[in-house]
Structure 1
Amino acid sequence: MARVLIVGAFLAVIFWVYSIVDVAVQPAGRHRGVSKGVWVLIVVLLPVIGGILWFWIGRRRRGERESDYLTAPDDDPAALRRMSTAEQDARIRQLEEELARLDDESDGADPRS
């Protein structure tokens, strides 16, 4: 039984060190959720659980782009480059009308409710 615990602890330490190194060497754009420094803290302070969270949630895969998760279509530079100026102007007008309509709806609302 003691051998199993020693081997398990040894494997946990190896996984922990590998997780810390993996977080540290990843470029800043390959992190999901929080910043690189916070991920290092999570992995260091929560040895096995932090490493599992890093590989499951925090690490962005090679084919994934940051814009897949964080950028709205109107903020995506590639999408804006594909749109013509007339399409961009029409989209801006549509969004301004939508915002004005929402402002008009909220003006009549009771602020206490």
Structure 2
Amino acid sequence: MPFLIGLVNLAFFVVSLVDIVRLDEARVRYLPKLAWIIVVILLPFIGSILWWTLGREYAPRPARSARRTHRTPAPRPPADVRTTEQQLADLEREEYEAKLREEIARRRRERDTD
């Protein structure tokens, strides 16, 4: 039995060290990777537990829905594929139309007051 506990502890230690070495630096929390390696080497069991609970940042999980369906997702609207010049021209046209609407409204007000 003690042999089995020692074997599990050694496997946990090795898996933790491999995970620390392979994980991207951006996903390591609280200490640099080298410090986590030293902690796990000096305190094999407790250091490994600390690594898996505190030191490692896990990737966010996608939200689960209550009901699973095998439908294809709804198509996304197409991205705006207009060039910058086309977008500027559309904005200028919208501004011109707004000015024309204001002018029409002003003339109607003047005509109604006369």
TM-score by length of 1: 0.52
**1:17-68 alpha-carbon deviations (Å, 9 max, x no partner):** 110101110000011101111011111111010000000000001129xxxx
1:30 alignment partner, one of 21, 24, 27: 27
Provide the C-alpha distance between the structure 1 equivalents of 2:60 and 2:31, rounded to a whole number of angstroms.
Answer: 19
**1:65-111 alpha-carbon deviations (Å, 9 max, x no partner):** xxxxxxxxxxxxxxxxxxxxxxxxxxxxxxxxxxxxxxxxxxxxxxx
| Structure 1 residue aligned with 2:60 | 63
| Structure 2 residue aligned with 1:81 | none
Provide the C-alpha distance between the structure 2 equivalents of 1:37 and 1:8, rounded to a whole number of angstroms.
Answer: 27
RMSD: 1.3
Structure 1 residues 17-96: aligned runs within 5 Å: 17-63=14-60
Gaps of 5+ in 1: 65-113
Provide the C-alpha distance between the structure 1 equivalents of 2:18 and 2:9, rounded to a whole number of angstroms.
Answer: 14
Alignment partner of 1:9 is 2:3: no
- Which has more radius of gyration? 2
* Structure richer in helix, relative to its length: 1
How many residues get paired?
61
Identity of aligned residues (%): 33
TM-score by length of 2: 0.52
Gaps of 5+ in 2: 62-114
